[in-house]
Amino acid sequence: MEETLLQSKELYKSYNTGKTIVPVINGINLTLYKSDFTVIMGSSGSGKSTLLYLLSGLEVPSSGEIWLEDKPVHTLDEKMMTLIRRKYIGFVFQDFNLVPNLTFLENILIPAYLVKNDRQQIKDRALDLMQKMKIKDLKDRLPSEVSGGQQQRCSMARAIINNPDLVMADEPTGNLNSSSSEAVLDILSELNNKGQSIVMVTHEVKSACRANRIIFLRDGHIEDDLRFDKDLKFEEKEVQLLKWLAGKDW
């Protein structure tokens, strides 16, 4: 029996733009399990990023509940949620969200300095991650001095520096060429093989095949939920996923 990691109940979110109220998440009941690699797919504007923000407590729902194991995310104040996120959740933002006046290396170090004391060990790990992502040479650059793809990899290193139980990655390969994409996906797969849970938004079939479960969002609700059989080879997953997606107009 799988253990529940994160659960949403009757989750709703709408934005008030001043003129109109835009409903974005429309009653999502979702259970995510420990050690799963879950992918969220769906067309642009279907609510994928908003759902990740809600699940990680970065956005407050309009109504409904979110439980991270036994912790009621929907009732926790920002301070408490920040502490929990720092320790348990790594977040890769679709638009990177790096601190503009900190170097690449500093951006990666900050979340680790906030939870651990051994600075040398932290720095070694940061440089090791940068090496793996092929951005080590850029360690002293500011985010504005590098490409989007390089910022994306820096954002990835920052998300995993604390070895979080859960990594949420919003299109982490959206700006990368295929070899950099593979490097980032390999890191996520490696973490997942060690038992860490991954939730990743992607629109790429090949990237999605890293997962064992795919959720399809449409207009802020879950339209479909696919689980791959355990023993499927990558190519078999790809065929199955393409078939599954072919039935959806997106």
Q: Which residues bind ligand ATP (CB under 6 A)?
A: 15, 17, 22, 24, 42, 44-50, 94
Window 173-232: residues binding Mg ion (CB under 5 A): none
Minimum distance from residue 103 beta carbon to ligand ATP (Å): 28
Please say which residue, 26 or 35, places its beta carbon nearer to Mg ion: 26
Give the Cα separation of 46 and 216 in Å (integer): 9
Residue range at the interface with Mg ion (CB under 5 A); choices 24-32, 84-92, 93-101, 205-213: 93-101
Do residues 156 and 172 touch, judged by C-beta distance below 8 A? yes
Please say which residue, 4 or 94, places its beta carbon nearer to Mg ion: 94
Q: Beta strand pairing status for 197-201 and 89-92?
A: unpaired
Please say which residue, 112 or 198, places its beta carbon nearer to Mg ion: 198
Do residues 161 and 126 touch, judged by C-beta distance below 8 A? yes
Q: Which of 7, 8, 38, 49 binds Mg ion (CB under 5 A)?
A: 49
Give the Cα separation of 213 and 59 in Å (integer): 24
Minimum distance from residue 171 beta carbon to ligand ATP (Å): 7
Please say which residue, 49 or 173, places its beta carbon nearer to ligand ATP: 49
Minimum distance from residue 10 beta carbon to ligand ATP (Å): 18
Minimum distance from residue 38 beta carbon to Mg ion (Å): 16
Do residues 34 and 4 touch, judged by C-beta distance below 8 A? yes
Q: What is the dihedral of CA 62, 68, 69, 71, to 10 degrees?
A: -70
Q: Is 157 exposed, middle or buried (0-12, 13-18, 19+ CB in 10 A)?
A: buried
Minimum distance from residue 220 beta carbon to ligand ATP (Å): 7
